[in-house]
Amino acid sequence: MSVRRLTEDEIVTRLRELAEQSSGGRVLLGIGDDAAVWQPSRSHRSVITTDALVDGVHFTRETMSLEDVGWRTTTANLSDLAAMGARPVLATIALGIPEAVDFEDLLALYRGVIACARTERLVIAGGDLTRAPALTIAMTAVGEVRASSVKRRSSGRPGDAVGVTGTLGASRAGLDIARGRVTLSQEGLREEALRAHRRPRARVREGQWLAASANVHAMMDCSDGLSTDLARLCEASALGASLESIPVAPSALAAAEALREDPRAYALAGGEEYELIFTCAARAFAHLARRFQECFGSPLHRIGTLRRERGIVIAERGEEKPVSRTGWDHFDGG
């Protein structure tokens, strides 16, 4: 059955049945009316974010399923909330549907959205449908955070340690594998890379944990690549950074070596990581890392230091070399 043969009301009814799987008590009115109604918390700030994915620009159906697309769309929004230290509350979805997409495709997309949303108790509260020349999914998500815990990318301080919540480059390795650009013989590494690309996890609980610390000053997610996103944090804070190390994921290391690329450069250029970049008082990093390991069972990685000199550099053979932006840019595709 194709979308063209269904009315908008019929599609909404079927999607509402799926969305109700993620419903929560604070959404007073969800899908089916002109707008959603929810009960905000009086003691918290609302955090709002929007992400859009377009077929042929942000994903291709040759390298991932539509369930994966739905999952990754939700992850992108959850990651933005995580970067602010927020707890996810609700989301709305706008779908642009081309003629070639049938109803089973649409259900698959929504199943991916709901599956990811349920991992963080994010309620899908409504949205919109329209015709479009390419499949487009745009999500707006709302979260809540205590006023004292809000983290911004502009709050870095000179001398702050710069850290990330995980290794980098696995998603890029997954894309290269899916495109047939590289082959990894070790099955575990191949699975790690494809999972990072198709079913990434937002660091929601980690973001809330870091945001609760007064020693953490600035934070943002690493969705467009470390070289690009760290530059954005530095510019917002009117500072620069000196990089000391780049934590490269095992699958990314293997892919970079197979492609005869520098693993550090490979990781710097990788996008859609959904790790968190943060800065904190240098003296507090070791203590934070120890507690983080105890809480989440994974390490924090110190990658460098903020400094007053603008620009990002990395120590290489005893010299400081500038790091250029090599991550994703929505308007030049680089």
- Tens of pLDDT, residues 134-163: 999 999 999 999 989 999 999 999 999 999
Backbone angles phi, psi at 316, to 5 degrees: -145, 115
List, in order, residues 6 or more apart from 229 with CB less than 8 Å away.
220, 221, 222, 223, 277, 327
d(CA 326, CA 27): 41
105-to-2, 3, 212 alpha-carbon distances in Å: 9, 9, 40
Verify that 123 and 172 share a domain, yes or no. Answer: no
Q: Does position 330 have pLDDT exceeding 60, yes or no?
A: no
Calculate mean pLDDT across residues 202-208: 97
Looking at the domain assignment, is residue 155 inside a domain?
no
Q: Does position 13 have pLDDT exceeding 80, yes or no?
A: no
Q: Does position 237 have pLDDT exceeding 50, yes or no?
A: yes
Among 329, 332, 326, residue whose Cα is nearest residue 227: 326
CA 171 to chain centre: 11
d(CA 15, CA 126): 9
The predicted structure's pLDDT at residue 287: 97
d(CA 120, CA 215): 26
Calculate mean pLDDT across residues 51-63: 88
pTM above 0.85, yes or no: yes
Looking at the structure of the chain, the number of domains it has is 2
Looking at the domain assignment, is residue 25 inside a domain?
yes
Verify that 22 and 165 share a domain, yes or no. Answer: no
**13 or 35, higher pLDDT:** 13
Q: Final residue of a domain: which of 112, 147, 182?
A: 147
Q: Residues of 70-104 as b/e, b for ≥16 C-beta within 10 angstroms?
A: bbbbbbbbbbbbbbbbbbbbbbbbbbbbeeebbbe
- What is the tens place of the pLDDT at every residue in 98-107? 988 888 998 9
- What is the tens place of the pLDDT at every residue in 258-312? 999 999 999 999 888 899 999 999 999 999 999 999 999 999 999 999 999 999 9
Q: Final residue of a domain: which of 124, 147, 170?
A: 147
pLDDT band for position 27 (50/70/90)? low
d(CA 112, CA 136): 15
The predicted structure's pLDDT at residue 291: 98
Euclidean distance between the first and the last CA atom of the chain, given in angstroms as a whole number:
38
3-state secondary structure the chain: CEHHHCCHHHHHHHHHHHHHHHCCCCEEECECECCCEECCCCCEEEEEEEEEEEECCCECCCCCCHHHHHHHHHHHHHHHHHHCCCEEEEEEEEEEECCCCEHHHHHHHHHHHHHHHHHCCCEEEEEEEEECCCCEEEEEEEEEEEHHHCCECCCCCCCCEEEECCCECHHHHHHHHHCCCCCCCCHHHHHHHHHHHHCCCCCHHHHHHHHCCCCEEEEEECCCCHHHHHHHHHHHCCCEEEECCCCECHHHHHHHHHCCCCHHHHHHHCCCCCCEEEEECHHHHHHHHHHHHHHHCCCCEEEEEEECCCEEEEEECCEEEECCCCCCCCCCCC
Verify that 19 and 128 share a domain, yes or no. Answer: yes
Q: What is the CATH number of the domain that holds 128?
A: 3.30.1330.10
130's tokens: 């329209």
Q: What is the CATH number of the domain that holds 270?
A: 3.90.650.10
Q: Final residue of a domain: which of 118, 147, 176?
A: 147
Verify that 179 and 299 share a domain, yes or no. Answer: yes
The predicted structure's pLDDT at residue 267: 93
Q: Are the beta carbons of 122 and 141 closer than 8 angstroms?
A: yes
Q: Percent of the chain scored above 70 by pLDDT?
A: 86
Verify that 112 and 167 share a domain, yes or no. Answer: no
d(CA 140, CA 94): 8
The amino acid present at 73, given as its one-letter code, is T
Looking at the domain assignment, is residue 156 inside a domain?
no
The predicted structure's pLDDT at residue 103: 86
Strand order in the sheet with 44-54: 44-54, 136-146, 87-97, 123-131
